[in-house]
């Protein structure tokens, strides 16, 4: 966002020159996919004096997305690819490092970085680590309660593998692919963990019932798989198929949420 001096107009040469200078400076930021501003309009027409007429002929809802005469503001829109919050903040820091040079050449102008992506990324860098920590705390608490409910330390230990493995595997995949953690990924992993715990509890409850009936460990496992296996498989497949619809969504976060939920459910089923 660029605020120009009150003695200038939105389409004056100095105002658009400042925008053009900023736009050319920001083209060095590799992650930007496009820059949209009044300077782009001026450079696209042969007669720059027609710029004011062009804005006057625009519908108000379009022109107000570019200029705000009452507040002496110009909006420069920067387009980013689908990035996680850490990568977005890295791009923002790159932009901030380029601004002092532009501010030095246009000292009576004010340049401000704002927008939904920036605000979301700033909050996400604080919120996502807290969600990540709370997810692991919830896993520990759930496993402790499993041990208390079944009155068996071994049951709690056995529950760690099928429930922690999907989270660790998907988390490692996100890290290796460079996607990192986001709101969608943390929420997806938390929900999938809840479903995985439910399957584990069903398995342990049936196994304990078989053991209390006098069956050996081997026979108890076989009968538990025979009774619980089809139920767990059906539940996981139905949930995965239902959530797979979100993989077709246009919103990146919605798509990420659906894909991660499906993958985590599949890995959890294999771990069980």
What pTM value is reported for the model? 0.56
Contact 200, 163 (CB under 8 A): yes
Q: If DSSP codes are grouped into helix, strand and coil, which group holds residue 6?
A: coil
Residue ranges matching CATH 1.20.1640.10 in the chain: 124-271
At the topology level of CATH, where does 124-271 sit?
Answer: Multidrug efflux transporter AcrB transmembrane fold (1.20.1640)
Per-residue pLDDT, 31: 62
Residues of the chain with pLDDT under 70: 29-33, 46-49, 84, 178-181, 272
Q: How many C-beta atoms lie closer than 10 Å to residue 176's C-beta?
A: 8
The most distant pair of C-alpha atoms in the chain lies apart, rounded to whole Å, by: 93
Task: Answer yes or no: are the C-beta atoms of 264 and 162 closer than 8 Å.
Answer: no
Count of all residues that appear for the chain in the document: 272
Q: What is the DSSP string of 208-259?
A: HHHHHTT--HHHHHHHHHHHHHHHHHHHHHHHHHHHHGGGG-SSHHHHHHHH
Which pLDDT tens digit goes with each residue over 5-55?
888 887 788 888 888 888 888 877 656 667 777 777 777 776 666 777 777
Give the model's pLDDT for residue 39.
Answer: 77
């Amino acid at each position: 966002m660029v605020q120009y001096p009150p003695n200038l107009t939105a389409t004056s040469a100095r105002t658009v020159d400042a925008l053009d200078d900023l736009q050319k400076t920001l083209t060095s930021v590799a992650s930007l996919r496009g820059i949209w501003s009044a300077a782009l309009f001026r450079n696209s027409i042969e007669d720059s004096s027609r710029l004011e007429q062009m804005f006057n002929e625009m519908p108000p809802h379009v022109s107000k997305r570019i200029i705000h005469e009452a507040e002496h503001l110009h909006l420069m829109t920067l387009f980013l690819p689908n990035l996680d919050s850490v990568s977005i903040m890295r791009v923002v820091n790159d932009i901030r490092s380029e601004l002092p040079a532009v501010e030095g050449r246009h000292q009576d102008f004010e340049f401000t970085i704002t927008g939904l992506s920036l605000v979301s990324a700033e909050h996400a860098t604080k919120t996502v680590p807290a969600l990540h920590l709370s997810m692991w705390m919830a896993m520990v608490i759930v496993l402790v309660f499993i041990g208390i409910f079944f009155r068996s330390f071994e049951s709690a230990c056995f529950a760690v593998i099928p429930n922690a493995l999907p989270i660790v595997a998907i988390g490692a995949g996100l890290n290796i692919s460079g996607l990192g953690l986001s709101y969608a990924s943390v929420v997806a992993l938390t929900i999938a963990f809840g479903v995985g715990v439910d399957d584990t509890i069903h398995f342990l409850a049936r196994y304990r019932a078989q053991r209390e009936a006098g069956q050996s460990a081997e026979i108890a496992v076989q009968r538990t798989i025979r009774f619980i296996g089809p139920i767990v498989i059906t539940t996981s497949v139905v949930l995965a198929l239902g959530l797979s619809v979100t993989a077709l969504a246009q919103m990146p976060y919605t798509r990420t949420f659906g894909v991660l939920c499906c993958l985590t459910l599949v890995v959890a089923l294999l771990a069980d």
